[in-house]
Amino acid sequence: ASDGVIIPMQCEYYALEGLAALMNTVEQIRETINPKLEISGILRTMYDPRNSLTRDVSDELQEYFGEQLYKVAIPRNVRLAEAPSHGMSALHYDKASKGAIAYLALAGEIVRKNKAAAKKADLAEA
């Protein structure tokens, strides 16, 4: 049903351990069901740059995934956490919150990456 997976990644130690298991699952799906399945990107969530563990995990993700790691990171944000309890998306709940702005930036980054990949594919066909 899909040719790409975006993996949201909380910047904490146990999430990093779980990422290895998820990568194995993606590989098994690729080998058995969907050979076109790729990891479209890794999205850092609940990101707090003041926390040294967050920075360490982020550095490891950057080292291992390189260009697959989205530049945008979704910050820890109270307004973002409150939105679901009100039955609303972050954009509808508080479009000016740091979390909502980060998700808009992520959407822009995804669109730009997809356009660049499509352009690259067109050039390869020509």
CA–chain centroid gap for 45, Å, is 8
- In this prediction the pTM is 0.88
Detail the DSSP E strand segments found in the chain: 4-10, 38-47, 69-75
The chain-wide mean pLDDT, for the chain, equals: 93
Band of residue 118 on the pLDDT scale cut at 50, 70, 90: confident
- pLDDT above 70 covers a percentage of the chain that reads 100
Distances (CA, A) of 119 to 6, 123, 126: 21, 6, 11
Band of residue 10 on the pLDDT scale cut at 50, 70, 90: very high
Band of residue 92 on the pLDDT scale cut at 50, 70, 90: very high
